[in-house]
């Protein structure tokens, strides 16, 4: 069904995510931006890079949906597990994680240091993502089933994808905030 209120709520949540990033990370030094609590953890830069990679992985499908060229595969149309996959991802990608998860290789951030201009790249990517989402306002988000950009076997409704992606955005921003308040975080 067409659900303008849901789309507006997702856009509000994504806008809130952008505001959090501006408030929390706009005055960081390059050292702070790339600092890791330990070698196996991500830096603030890597948290944002991961979000850019994961959000933009959906851009091609969203563009085809918006442009009216999206065609579901037979698997997407008839996969009996689409609803379960969607629910599983919504449960796993909560804003406040109950357990640590390893990001799939395809969407892992760069291991190298990033410059502070990357924050602007994050904003531009999130703005593009929000633009795609806003154009889904006339789409039946429950009938459109999309495939995970990680593996096409996993399918879910566009509604579920938009919900867990908004949660995912906040999850990693919250992770970055926890890095910033870590007792070892470099001071200016």
Q: Is residue 109, in this structure, part of any structural domain at all? A: no
Q: Quick one: pLDDT at residue 188?
A: 78
pLDDT at 111: 84
What's the chain's length in residues?
188
Query: Is 111 a member of any domain?
Result: no
Nearest to 170 by CA among 91, 90, 95, 94: 95
User: Is residue 97 predicted with pLDDT exceeding 90?
Assistant: no
159 or 117: which carries more pLDDT confidence?
159
Residue 188 within any structural domain of the chain: no
Distance separating alpha carbons of residues 165 and 89, to the nearest angstrom: 9
- Domain assignment present for 83: yes
**185, pLDDT greater than 80:** yes
Mean pLDDT computed over 90-109: 90
Q: What's the whole-model pTM score?
A: 0.95
Closest to 125 measured CA to CA, from 25, 36, 58:
58
CA nearest to 103, candidates 155, 34, 54: 54
The answer on pLDDT for 30 being more than 90 is yes
Would 175 be classed as within a structural domain? Answer: yes
Residues near 94 by beta carbon (within 8 Å), at least 6 away in sequence: 167, 171
Helix axes 4-25, 118-134, angle to 10 degrees: 170
Inter-CA distances, 182 with 32, 74, 116, Å: 11, 48, 20
Cα R_g (the chain), whole angstroms: 17
* CATH value at residue 56: 1.20.120.450
Within a domain: 186: no
187: in domain = no
Element of type H or E holding 146? strand 145-147
Does residue 10 lie within any of the structural domains?
Answer: yes
> What pLDDT band is residue 103 in, cutting at 50, 70 and 90?
very high
Task: Tell me the mean pLDDT in the region 118-124.
Answer: 95
List Cβ neighbours of 163 (8 Å cut-off, separation of 6 or more): 10, 90
Mean per-residue pLDDT for 23-35? 96
Of 129, 113, 158, give the one whose Cα is nearest residue 53: 129
Mean pLDDT for the chain overall: 95
Range of the domain at 86: 4-98+117-180
Show the tokens assigned to 103: 């990001």
Average pLDDT of the residues in 139-153: 97
How many domains does the chain contain in total?
1
CA 106/CA 82 separation, integer angstroms: 21
Query: Can you give the pLDDT at residue 136?
Result: 97
């Amino acid at each position: 069904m067409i659900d303008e209120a849901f789309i507006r709520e997702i856009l509000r949540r994504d806008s809130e995510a952008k505001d959090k990033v501006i408030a929390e990370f706009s005055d960081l030094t390059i050292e702070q931006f790339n600092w890791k609590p330990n070698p196996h953890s991500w830096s603030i830069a890597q948290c944002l890079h991961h979000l850019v990679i994961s959000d933009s992985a959906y851009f091609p499908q969203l563009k085809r949906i918006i442009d009216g060229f999206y065609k579901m595969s037979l698997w997407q149309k008839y996969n009996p597990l689409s609803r379960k996959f969607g629910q599983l991802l919504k449960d796993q990608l909560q804003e406040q994680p109950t357990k640590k998860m390893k990001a799939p290789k395809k969407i892992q951030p760069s291991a190298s240091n990033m410059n502070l201009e990357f924050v602007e790249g994050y904003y531009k990517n999130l703005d593009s993502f929000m633009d795609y989402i806003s154009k889904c306002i006339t789409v039946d988000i429950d009938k459109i089933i999309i495939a995970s950009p990680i593996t096409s076997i996993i399918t879910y409704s566009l509604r579920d994808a938009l919900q867990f992606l908004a949660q995912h955005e906040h999850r990693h921003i919250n992770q970055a905030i926890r890095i910033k308040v870590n007792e070892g975080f470099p001071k200016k």
